[in-house]
């Protein structure tokens, strides 16, 4: 399998699942920047060696983004912000979302030359690690 040349990834949502995914990506050598509106979640990520941003706009334009959000409505507001900045190649959404939301976000990403991948996860924190 070909490795991406640019190994920068933003993880949006640093709760139990997103935080574990960010840590796993970081351990695998990816340049991870995390964002979460919760200062406590950002602090926990920083203690694990993950860089964090105070605002979503600070990670927009990162080539790859992983979303681990609590609701489809937040996906609907987050994805357009990420796609507004040039440079986004792929967004992987691990949120337990709605099919209509995923379809709409995939269509929006396609119009911007990016990919939107619906990838819900199971297994809790251990499955994400």
Please tell me the distance from the alpha carbon of residue 99 to that of residue 45, in angstroms, as a whole number: 30
Question: 64 lies in a domain?
Answer: yes
Please tell me the distance from the alpha carbon of residue 114 to that of residue 126, in angstroms, as a whole number: 30
Q: Does residue 122 carry a pLDDT above 80?
A: no
Question: 96 lies in a domain?
Answer: yes
DSSP string, 58-102: GTTT-SEEEE--S-HHHHHHHHHHHHHSTT--EEEE-S---HHHH
pTM of the model: 0.91
Question: 129 lies in a domain?
Answer: no
Least confident stretch, 46-50, 97-101, 110-114, 120-124:
120-124
What pLDDT score was predicted for residue 3? 63
What's the farthest any 2 CA atoms get from each other in the chain? 38
Question: 97 lies in a domain?
Answer: yes
- 75: CATH: 3.40.50.720
Please tell me the distance from the alpha carbon of residue 56 to that of residue 106, in angstroms, as a whole number: 20
Question: 57 lies in a domain?
Answer: yes
Q: Does residue 91 carry a pLDDT above 70?
A: yes
Strand bridging mode 115-118 / 51-53: unpaired
User: Which residue range(s) make up the domain with 89?
Assistant: 8-121
Structural domain tally of the chain?
Answer: 1
Question: 127 lies in a domain?
Answer: no
Please tell me the distance from the alpha carbon of residue 115 to that of residue 1, in angstroms, as a whole number: 19
Q: How many CB atoms lie within 10 A of CB 71?
A: 12
124 against 99, higher pLDDT: 99
């Amino acid at each position: 399998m070909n490795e991406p040349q640019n190994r920068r990834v933003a993880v949006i949502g640093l709760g139990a699942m997103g935080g574990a995914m960010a840590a796993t990506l970081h351990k695998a050598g990816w340049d991870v920047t995390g964002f979460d509106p919760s200062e406590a979640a950002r602090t926990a990520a920083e203690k694990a060696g993950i860089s964090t941003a105070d605002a979503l706009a600070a990670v927009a334009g990162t080539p790859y983004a992983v979303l681990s959000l609590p609701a489809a409505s937040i996906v609907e507001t987050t994805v357009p912000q990420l796609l507004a900045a040039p440079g986004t190649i792929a967004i992987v959404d691990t949120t337990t979302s709605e099919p209509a939301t995923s379809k709409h976000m995939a269509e929006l990403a396609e119009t911007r030359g990016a990919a939107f991948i619906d990838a819900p996860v199971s297994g809790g924190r251990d499955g994400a690690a």
